Structure 1
């Protein structure tokens, strides 16, 4: 049985780190800038070989709200699961070591969690590559549901989500055996078990796109989704053709944002249209723009594609 420690602050920010020296300083600055200050941050170094441990030590030395930890397992799921026994905050807020928080993120989340029925909350994110922040996600008006997650996950990234510590403990945390889409599998379990997750229609975080990152491994993401689909099936949910097409559209858009090999976006777009044209173009603007981008990616030089499609 997981023992939840006594809460001593409102938020615990969980930051898994692995060779993040190039981005971690900027990420921590975004935490320092939070207008809501009742938080701690767990900086969890998963065996970095660069300057990440030094940056973590510097953060701990300058601000007692930072704590340095080492995971007992391997990978981001095991690192995030350390919150089950280490977090002292009533609400968990996840942040990858290359992403950024808007200064008012925790303040807006604090307001949202005044409603006792809310188990989790997320907002809009901006996709960026370290310089540009042109593209933002959208959020639905209704609560997060499994059918929604089987299409295009509106949460997008764990850096966008806050969840009550007690609820995270009830779910048992992330499945450490899943490397890609472990967040999707957990979100499906979370909402399928009746926990309410709401959307805040405000920009809350910046998600860094990177062609070398885990999320850029599109084939592995697609394979990892099988575990999430399996979890959904255990609760009686199965993706229909339209939802599959929406997910393929999401992968095609990710291929364009990460400047993946030119054929990937077109291959995913074609698969989505063949699976369900109505599903792929359920959002005509998004579907049409994705299809056009997938074709253009074949003829444009990679540097030009990076400018046009990187977030």
Structure 2
């Protein structure tokens, strides 16, 4: 059979959400699927739930590994994937029942290398109406076809750095893999590494993917050293874009500046004593912001709000953190 889609689902301690996710995948109108559940060393009963689903649907396969993070789980999924197309779905999310059908249609008809759809944020209360949300996600058939350059400059570097809600022609992925050891920003680097292989990208405007806003996730937690990964990733992206689309490097530096201030904001929420112990992280945020601000085009592209905050942070970082802390209190 042709046109099989490999759906890669990294699973880590996802017992509370996994069945909702799989329910939405097995009921896709596009039925020629293989569903790869990559259990990344879960310590709850996620593996038991996976086995139960494997018994119910022969398209589902469980692959277990030692814990290594979401990037290592996705990479193993890519090694095992047998489909002509590949997509990633996080275990706490779910998808509209026509999502894969719409995306594969666009890739084939537009001769695109990947197709991406819109998403909606969902919360715990939405799980009670899961069937309604699966159908409601399907909407207008409006779409747009972009060149690789347009995709990079007008979409990817405008904040659309997620790898989920995308269907990839597996041929363009080739040997590209997610960088392991990162907890924030790994999606961005994967997509940037694909840019050199892309010719056309299809954008489906309807919101087919339901993204669960997990208040306990990394983006909403207290500062931890791994939060610096977003700075590392944007610095790396700046270097990679210099080789592919140098005219768009300033946009990546805008994102780097914003990432530096967002990370500094996390540091600001710690106590004064904690901030002193982590002064080296503040210094790194300041260095990254200074590096980005040195690009005059990037500085001009910042909003007035970011410029105002940035001037204070660049010249008086301790005062910035203190005032930010007081404001948030």
Q: TM-score normalised to the size of structure 1?
A: 0.71
The answer for the alignment partner of 1:81 in structure 2 is 75
Displacement of 1:50 in angstroms is 0.5
Aligned residues: 272
Worse-superposed segment, 105-114 or 79-88: 79-88
* Unaligned ranges ≥5, structure 1: 1-6, 288-294, 302-311
Per-residue CA distance 1:237-288 (angstroms, 9 max, x = gap): 37555553356558989999xxx78869xx99xx79x956753449x9xx9x
Determine which structure has the larger helix proportion and give its number. 2
The answer for the alignment partner of 2:31 in structure 1 is 37
CA contact (8 A) 1:19 1:49 kept: yes
Rounded to whole Å, the distance in 1 between the matches of 2:29 and 2:76 is 26
Rounded to whole Å, the distance in 1 between the matches of 2:185 and 2:247 is 17
Displacement of 1:39 in angstroms is 1.0
CA contact (8 A) 1:149 1:184 kept: no
The answer on 1:208 being equivalent to 2:202 is no
List structure 1 segments (4+ residues) > 4 angstroms apart after TM superposition.
215-218, 238-243, 246-256, 260-264, 274-278, 295-301
Query: What SS does structure 1 have at the residue aligned with 2:23?
Result: helix
The answer for the alignment partner of 1:161 in structure 2 is 166
The answer on 1:174 being equivalent to 2:178 is yes
Structure 2 residue corresponding to 1:121, chosen from 89, 110, 115? 115
Rounded to whole Å, the distance in 2 between the matches of 1:153 and 1:15 is 23
Structure with higher Rg: it is 2
CA contact (8 A) 2:119 2:207 kept: yes
Displacement of 1:144 in angstroms is 5.0
The answer on 1:198 being equivalent to 2:202 is yes
The answer for the alignment partner of 1:231 in structure 2 is 240
Q: TM-score normalised to the size of structure 2?
A: 0.68
Q: How does 1:253-268 map to 2 (within 5 A)?
A: none
Displacement of 1:296 in angstroms is 12
CA contact (8 A) 1:243 1:279 kept: no
Rounded to whole Å, the distance in 2 between the matches of 1:175 and 1:198 is 25
